Structure 1
């Protein structure tokens, strides 16, 4: 599969065969769906035998569990704050782009998780955990800005939840309707314009 579409597996302890199976599974899940995918579909795509698959994974669910674990590791790399520009608007746009990029780069796993949670409560909890991490990220930014007097008077919790839902909602759209990097950049700018004007005090 194209590495531009899925973020690289970040756990260095994963072997080449295991990595190939995981990446091939993402491809298969993206093409035919998690529920329809079989172990045979995955091993055929990965060009490995069933024995190799079962050496690393108990079953298809266990494979998805490991993919989701990797996904949460990627949250630290894609969404957690990095060294950012001093300009508040540029800071917001950079973070908006990274959030949207996260959904784009990991859409295969997210689509599988979205499908699996419809029939398994375990995966619904995983999805909610991912949503909550996004909420906490935005919460920290907004509350930090409020302490500095940058924001309008507002119901903080409602505002933060609304912004988190907006980004998650557009992230879900990107999952189902993949966008080009240029489109993601333009979307990040549009969402930033909306948030910046609604939440922050603008200089005259």
Structure 2
């Protein structure tokens, strides 16, 4: 029996999606094993178990592959740091966001470590890293500026405070993703950082 056009398209799309997933998995494996800079298209296709030419039906080169993955990852930031419960206290919201930021680093470590390496040799990736960083810390910036306006905070330099928190979380996020830390360590670190930040910034009884 002859397949109609829509069935054929669906089957083709499924096959393309499956091969793309294989290529992405192969790339992540290669980036982890030999590093982004040393990875070649052959390294990716051999680990993906697909032909060399097939790669170019999906991506222009390894930079294009990583760039697409980073763009997709940047769209997921809010899934990690946007509280579902908007009735949380400032402290609870900061803790939720702190855990989300660190989970984002660890859960997406393969792509982010490749991105960090790519930034050193390819200027096009600097803007992509900056976009992710700004998106991750936008919620904390919003919380602190809003709290300052309401008089909840000590007399602080807001811009310096936000930049300091950003550097602290980025540094710890990089450490945790390098160590492939588990959920319990992420939780413990996030809680400690939240306590430290909250006591330093907010007026407490």
Q: Which moved more, 1:162-171 or 1:139-148?
A: 139-148
Superposed CA RMSD in Å reads 1.8
**Is the contact between residue 81 and residue 96 of structure 2 (CA under 8 Å) also seen in structure 1?**
no
Residue 169, structure 1, aligned to residue 158, structure 2 = no
SS for the counterpart of 1:55 is coil
TM-score, normalised with respect to structure 2: 0.86
**Is the contact between residue 135 and residue 161 of structure 1 (CA under 8 Å) also seen in structure 2?**
no
SS for the counterpart of 1:151 is coil
**Is the contact between residue 30 and residue 43 of structure 2 (CA under 8 Å) also seen in structure 1?**
yes
Q: Aligned pair count?
A: 191
d(CA) in 1 for partners of 2:78, 2:96:
15
Q: Which of 95, 98, 105 is the matching residue for 1:96?
A: 98
TM-score, normalised with respect to structure 1: 0.86
Give 1 or 2 for the bigger CA radius of gyration: 2
1:81 Cα offset (Å): 3.9
Runs of 5+ consecutive residues of structure 2 not aligned to the other structure: 1-15
SS for the counterpart of 2:99 is helix
**Larger RCO, structures 1/2 (Cα 8 Å, 6+ apart):** 1
Q: Which of 74, 85, 88 is the matching residue for 1:83?
A: 85
**Regions of 4+ moved over 3 Å:** none
d(CA) in 1 for partners of 2:33, 2:187:
26
d(CA) in 2 for partners of 1:35, 1:29:
8
d(CA) in 2 for partners of 1:19, 1:84:
35
1:133-153 C-alpha deviation (Å, 9 max, x unpaired) = 234332111112222322112
Q: Which of 181, 184, 196 is the matching residue for 2:183?
A: 181
d(CA) in 1 for partners of 2:24, 2:85:
31
d(CA) in 2 for partners of 1:82, 1:29:
34
1:154 match: 156
**Is the contact between residue 26 and residue 48 of structure 2 (CA under 8 Å) also seen in structure 1?**
yes
Q: Mapping of 1:18-167 within 5 angstroms?
A: 18-84=20-86, 86-167=88-169
Q: Which moved more, 1:25-34 or 1:73-82?
A: 73-82
1:162-204 C-alpha deviation (Å, 9 max, x unpaired) = 111111111111222221110011000100110110011112x
Runs of 5+ consecutive residues of structure 1 not aligned to the other structure: 1-13
